[in-house]
Structure 1
Amino acid sequence: MAGHQEFRKGDRVTWRSHGGEAEGVVEKKITKRTEAGGRTVDASPEEPQYKVRSEKSGRSAVHKAAALHRKQGG
């Protein structure tokens, strides 16, 4: 099984949101259990999660690497 993608701060990514696709920028890699986006994020070094900011809404959300896709050609 292939390892999950790694993302860095500033990477442009897309993710599924409310039946559509959202686009934004990675703000932070989270590698430990923490509070973010109004909920507990159960992240670890082996299963990092990423705080991303939506370009459209300006709001931040936290997603697992598997939910994010690197924006192509941008």
Structure 2
Amino acid sequence: MQIAIDRIMHTYDLMMSRTQAASDEARTKVTDYVQSLFDGGEKDPHRLTVFGLTYLRELDGSNDPVKAGFTGL
């Protein structure tokens, strides 16, 4: 599980420019989220990494299709 969290944070830090405090907060949130997935039975580190990155992108709003300019038309 720790490997997945380290991958998530490394990748997310490359994608986003944030302060150390924001990075620490994101690590705490994604650790709790990945732990819940792990406790629920998901053991694949690659899937945990994808789920964790998706979770962080949803939290910061960068995964919002409307903000990205997609209107469905």
| TM-score category (smaller protein) | under 0.3
What TM-score results when the alignment is normalised by the length of structure 2? Answer: 0.26
Which of the pair is proportionally richer in helix?
2
Q: When the two structures are superposed, what TM-score results if normalisation uses the length of structure 1?
A: 0.25
Larger relative CO (CA 8 A, sep 6+): 1 or 2?
Answer: 2
